[in-house]
Structure 1
Amino acid sequence: MKFPGGLQRLIQSFQANGLSFVAFRWLTLVTLGLSLLWIVSAWTKLPANIFLFAVFGTLAFGLMALAELFVQCLERLAVRFSHQSNYYWGVLVGIAFVTANLRHELTIYLILFSLAMLARWFIVGSVRAMNNSRSLSD
């Protein structure tokens, strides 16, 4: 019998057991809260630090919410057609490479999208890992 190592267990705890829009709802709720803070801070002239925190937080969490929606839609599409999602991800990476080679001005946007996907994976994985550890301790 083979037992997974520490790094493999950490990565497995970050991966989803099933498809769920819970993380998307959480990211959207945080984005809406920060955008409300942005509007209130612009309207009532709150300190500039709060305004900048709200602006950058809204943009960052909004991008991660869109990335989570993209991931969930792609995964649901793969399940719907009874395919493995690895093929879909491979095609998207291939499209990104071709696009980066043909249109050099779009490369920065592809890099930003990749960073948003990595940040989304880390945040959603952390939330799932915390939920898994709570359910195991109960």
Structure 2
Amino acid sequence: MSSQSSLSDRFKRPSQSIQTRSNHSMFNGHHATVDCPECHRIMVPRVITYYGQPTKSICPFCGATFAKYPSGLERLLARFQTRVLTFAIFKGFVLVAILFGLTFLGSSNGILPESLSEFSLFMTVVFTAVALAEFIFQCVEKMATRFSHESNYYWALLVLVAWASASLNRDLTLPIIILSFAMILRGILVGLAQVIRKN
């Protein structure tokens, strides 16, 4: 009886050591479970899928959302996020506006072909507006970062002030619309520059 138990122990010990070693190496430096931020239970998040695409993970105990997974469109738009706190982009827009302005002056004085006059004037106005939009963007983002606030509240307040100003004074409607389009164009240009730089 003792010989059988010793044989069984002899065969069990290596398997237990192998299993312990494999589990230790598999989860070495990682946590298999996490703490739920709502019910504070130790759990393994359950992934929710929609047509085969993961959308979020939830706590199996309370159902609270633990993490959200961005969709393909959100991942694409994330590459266009341009909250970069630097005035280098503003200087670039100003430089381009100055170059088009000099081209306009050269074509107006006969130094350059006159066919460039209207195009250079248009591009000067466009890049001047884009540079102003970039300056406003950087100021708002730097202010929010300085006071440790979410910049979305500043933008919402800025939109509210612009809407109130346009309602009180009709003459401000056109400049506000132009500046709004300049903000959109500024986001597209800087976003494309970031995408090209990442690739």
With the length of structure 1 as denominator, give the TM-score of the two structures. Answer: 0.86
Q: How far did residue 5 of structure 1 move? A: 2.4
Letter in 2 for 1:92: L
- Which residue is 1:60 aligned to? 126
Superposed counterparts of 1:1-138, under 5 Å? 2=54, 3-16=69-82, 18-133=84-199
Higher helix share: 1
**Residue segments in structure 1 that go unaligned for 5+ positions in a row:** 134-138
How many residues get paired? Answer: 133
**Greater Cα offset, 56-65 or 27-36:** 27-36
Please tell me the residue identity of whatever aligns with 1:70. I
Distance verdict in 2 for CA 1:52–1:75, change over 3 Å: same
**Equivalent-residue separation in structure 1 for 2:83 and 2:97 (angstroms):** 25
Residue identity in the other structure for 1:51: S
1:26-57 residue CA offsets vs partner (Å, 9 max, x unmatched) = 21221121112112212225333211111111
Tell me the amino acid that sits aligned with residue 123 of structure 2.
G
The higher relative CO (CA closer than 8 Å, separation ≥ 6) is in 1
* Percent identity for Structure 1 against Structure 2: 38
**Residue type matched to 2:176 in 1?**
L
Q: Which has the larger radius of gyration?
A: 2
Taking structure 2 as the reference length, the TM-score comes to 0.62
Q: CA RMSD in A?
A: 1.7
Which has the larger displacement, 31-40 or 45-54? 45-54
